[in-house]
């Protein structure tokens, strides 16, 4: 637990808000506001919270890849100084891309609904992406 505590204490809160919180929660909050506003003008409309707050594994893999791409934009010049981190980011990008490809195949089945195992793997890849990208941000920001 000590490494997690150390990581959280050293976390650049501005990076975390702009790179993680807003991209993940922003669309959910906007959806809730729009659904609520729509309901005020249409009495037959019944808002369904599970739809308004649904963030699919498909969307989370795209977010992970976007975060990795933006990290490489900042970190690329320092890649030679931190080869292990660079390899980790590349392997993580490959794993996320491969898993997104699995979802493409699974979604060809019209009865496919992502279950708990898909969400667990997606969230694990997302957390690894956030950790690696934050590390890359920290190491790449002092050019």
Residue 143 scores a pLDDT above 60 = no
Instruction: Record the pTM.
Output: 0.86
Domain ranges of the chain: 14-54, 56-143
Residue with structure tokens 């030679």? 80
pLDDT band at residue 142 under the 50/70/90 scheme? low
Residue 1 is predicted with a pLDDT of: 62
Cα(27)–Cα(33) distance, rounded to whole angstroms? 10
């Amino acid at each position: 637990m000590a490494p997690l505590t150390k990581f959280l204490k050293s976390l650049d809160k501005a990076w975390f808000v702009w790179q993680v919180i807003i991209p993940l929660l922003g669309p959910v909050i906007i959806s809730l506001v729009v659904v609520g506003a729509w309901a005020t003008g249409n009495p037959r409309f019944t808002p369904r919270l599970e739809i308004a707050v649904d963030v699919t594994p498909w969307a989370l893999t795209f977010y992970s890849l976007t975060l990795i791409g933006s990290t490489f934009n900042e970190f690329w010049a320092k890649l030679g100084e931190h080869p292990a981190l660079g390899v980790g980011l590349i392997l993580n990008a490959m794993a996320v891309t491969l898993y997104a490809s699995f979802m493409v195949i699974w979604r060809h089945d019209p009865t496919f609904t992502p279950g708990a195992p898909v969400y667990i793997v997606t969230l694990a890849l997302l957390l690894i992406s956030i950790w690696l990208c934050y590390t890359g941000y920290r190491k790449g920001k002092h050019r």
